[in-house]
Structure 1
Amino acid sequence: MPPESRSAPKAAGEEAEGRKTDDTRQTADKPADAGDAAPVAEDGASGEPQTGRQRLVASLWPPRLTRAQLIVALLLFILGLGLAIQVRSTSDSSALRGARQEDLVRILDELDNRSQRLADEQRRLEGQKTELENSSDQAEEARKQTVEKEQQLGVLAGTVAAQGPGITLTIDDASHSVEADKLLDTIQELRAAGAEAIQVNNVRVVANTYLSDVSGGVGIDGKRVTQPYRFKVIGKPEDLEPALNIPGGVVQTLEKEQARVSVTRQRKIIVDALREAKRPDYARSSSQ
């Protein structure tokens, strides 16, 4: 056999072996596709098979959630919450529809009582608010009224001086015929005519004033007063003077006793005789 014929098969074998080597190189250089990567992910990076616990953890905790998945989960949660609230409301309504008449009446009465209590509480709080807003004004007004009342009572009790329009009445009893009863009648007539403050000489006349006959004059609350008797009276002059000068009144009675009487209207009368304020021994205010 010629040498050329024996070497041909060898060359053919070498060519086939060269093609196989090239195919193996191409396979090694080709990147792995998705199908080729599955066994590696299943067996792990080390090539060892995963345990059951590792596969469970991997199934419960996915590696990453997309934004769309988060939005869908949130919408599903809101939908479930709304359904739960609706089911609960429907259950409450169903419970009321299935309640007895006595229970419904009791529930209605309880709601009415609660509404009434809330309304009362609202009115009470509004009243407190009004009082707090007006407390300063009320305190100032109360203080003014207290001061005015104290002054009025002081005038009536004779503990403070007073001034105002009125009259002066002078009784000149040269014959000493005017006794205590005549002066008491004069005081009573003046009070009946609206006298608010009376002073006879240097003695203040008050509600508990008493008169008595003494040697050479008249005793007023234990103080001796002699003629001429000078009355200073605060009140409305248009009422006081006519009350004294009426027919058969004080002036005519005193003139029958040989006394000279004069009545004068004045725009300003000052009553400055004062009395000491005394605390009653037994009487107390009923408001205490």
Structure 2
Amino acid sequence: MQRRKRTQKKKPSRPKQQIPLLTLRSEKRCNAMMKNNKVQLSVGIVILILAFLITIQFKSVTVNNEQRSKQNLRVDELLGELKKEREQNEDLQKQLDALTNDIAQYRTDAEQETDYSKFLSEQLRRAELMAGFVDVEGPGISIQLSDIGNRSPGLSASDTLIHDEDIRRIINELCAAGAEAISVNDSRIISTSAVRCVGPTILVNDTKMAPPYVIKAIGKSNQLEAAMNLNGGVIDNMKVWGFSISITKHKKLTIPKYNGTVNFSSATAIETVKGAKQ
């Protein structure tokens, strides 16, 4: 038997798939949306960048404002301190002016007091000089006295000795002749000095002395010498009796100050009221 040939039926060809219109529109819409998203993304990025820049700028402005505020505050503080310094300087200047005026017044007072102090010093020096409380020097004479060595007939032993009365009389004559300072054996004679005999010696200012006695006197030497050489005067009479006496003039003599003390227990100074009658 002959085999029948199978006739293969042709498969029907698939018709071409057609894209629906809705899908195309969706795709276009998606593409458009993607583009929009990209644009929006770009815009968003730009906005973020702008926001960031604005934020930085704001912070910068804020910082600058704060710095300016701090600077302004510092300037205010400095101005306040400067004002205080000026006020203090003004106060110090016032104090300086006041002190300057005080110093000027003190200087004026000091000059016046200096003049018065000089006056007081001169008066004190003069008082010390007159009282015999300072060493003095100047022209004058010296008188040396010694007892009678060889006693003449008719003279007692006492007649050959120099007595306190003889020295007192010489001192009185020197004062009358203008002597400014007198000493006996370098013991200064002052207003309270006492000259008296104690046995064979003479006591001057509580100091025992023995011959020869040296009396010094500062003053006008010619005048003092003339007073001592008067005819019939103290020295002349003593020479008649035989006492050894020599008088020497000096261009400069030194007489020491009084070394004792002067106490006033009863006498007090009387203060006189200025302008009152003496």
TM-score (ref. length: structure 2): 0.52
CA distance in 2: counterparts of 1:257 and 1:217, whole angstroms: 20
Q: Which residue of 2 aligns with 1:216?
A: 200
| Percent identity over paired residues | 27
Q: Which residue of 2 aligns with 1:235?
A: 219
CA distance in 2: counterparts of 1:133 and 1:171, whole angstroms: 58
Q: Residues 277 and 138 of structure 1: is their aligned pair in 2 closer, same or farther, counting only changes over 3 Å?
A: farther
Q: Residues 177 and 285 of structure 1: is their aligned pair in 2 closer, same or farther, counting only changes over 3 Å?
A: same
Alignment counterpart, residue 201 of structure 1, candidates 185, 198, 209 = 185
CA distance in 1: counterparts of 2:163 and 2:230, whole angstroms: 21
**3-state secondary structure, aligned to 2:263:** coil
Q: Kindly report structure 1 stretches of 4+ aligned residues shifted beyond 3 Å.
A: 131-138
Q: Which residue of 2 aligns with 1:247?
A: 231
Give how far 1:145 is off. Answer: 2.4
Matched, 1:191 2:180: no
1:158-178, Cα deviation, whole Å (9 max, x unpaired): 221111111111112244422
Is 1:177–1:257's contact at 8 Å kept on the other side of the alignment? no
Alignment counterpart, residue 124 of structure 2, candidates 123, 132, 150 = 150
Q: How many residue pairs get matched?
A: 158
Is 1:166–1:268's contact at 8 Å kept on the other side of the alignment? yes
Is 1:159–1:276's contact at 8 Å kept on the other side of the alignment? no
Which structure dedicates a bigger proportion of its chain to helix? 1
Give how far 1:233 is off. Answer: 0.9
2:125 alignment partner AA: Q
**3-state secondary structure, aligned to 1:275:** coil
1:200-259, Cα deviation, whole Å (9 max, x unpaired): 003211112222122222111332111111011111112111011111112202212321
1:5-28, Cα deviation, whole Å (9 max, x unpaired): xxxxxxxxxxxxxxxxxxxxxxxx
CA distance in 2: counterparts of 1:191 and 1:200, whole angstroms: 14
CA distance in 1: counterparts of 2:168 and 2:249, whole angstroms: 21
Give how far 1:133 is off. Answer: 8.9
Give how far 1:150 is off. Answer: 1.7
1:169-209, Cα deviation, whole Å (9 max, x unpaired): 11122444221111100000000111111110032111122
Is 1:168–1:233's contact at 8 Å kept on the other side of the alignment? yes
1:209 alignment partner AA: S
Matched, 1:263 2:216: no
Is 1:159–1:277's contact at 8 Å kept on the other side of the alignment? no
CA distance in 2: counterparts of 1:173 and 1:158, whole angstroms: 29
Higher alpha-carbon deviation: 269-278 or 230-239: 269-278
**3-state secondary structure, aligned to 1:233:** strand
Is 2:138–2:254's contact at 8 Å kept on the other side of the alignment? yes
Q: Which has the larger radius of gyration?
A: 2
Q: Which residue of 2 aligns with 1:98?
A: none
Matched, 1:163 2:137: yes
Is 1:244–1:251's contact at 8 Å kept on the other side of the alignment? yes
Q: Which residue of 1 aligns with 2:147?
A: 173
Unaligned stretches of 5+ in structure 1?
A: 1-130
TM-score (ref. length: structure 1): 0.50
Unaligned stretches of 5+ in structure 2?
A: 1-104, 150-159, 273-278
Is 1:178–1:257's contact at 8 Å kept on the other side of the alignment? no
Q: Which residue of 2 aligns with 1:81?
A: none
Q: Which residue of 2 aligns with 1:139?
A: 113
- Give the superposed CA RMSD: 2.2
**3-state secondary structure, aligned to 1:270:** strand
CA distance in 2: counterparts of 1:255 and 1:267, whole angstroms: 26
**3-state secondary structure, aligned to 1:185:** helix
Q: Which residue of 2 aligns with 1:52?
A: none
Give how far 1:132 is off. Answer: 8.9
**3-state secondary structure, aligned to 1:278:** coil
